[in-house]
Amino acid sequence: MKKKFKAIPKFKNEDEERKFWAKADTSEYFDWDKAEEVIFPNLKPSTETISIRLPEWLLARIKQLANSRDVAYQSLIKIFLAERVQKELNS
């Protein structure tokens, strides 16, 4: 007997879809036995521009560190944030 899968609902936006899949049992919507690995080599993560106020001394220190590592200070801030978030999630 062939399993009947549920229809995937239409979503208003990515947030609504994210919330749905966070709770949904995907085996009710997909046949994982037929799943194939897919690689998206050119896929870039979505980004959002934010504004953040930093004390001048802190920004100067970050720029100094970035310069010594030969990276843009904005990139170094992203690296620092990503490392800290990962550390917090693992503790």
CA pair distance 19, 6, nearest whole angstrom: 17
Tens place of pLDDT per residue across the chain (91 aa)? 678 899 999 999 999 999 999 999 999 999 999 999 998 888 888 889 999 999 999 999 999 999 999 999 999 999 999 999 999 999 8
8 A C-beta contact, residue 76 and residue 69: yes
- Sign, CA dihedral 22-27-33-38, equals negative
Evaluate if pTM is beyond 0.75: no
CA pair distance 8, 44, nearest whole angstrom: 25
DSSP H or E run through 88: helix 73-90
Angle (CA) 84 82 78, round 5°: 120
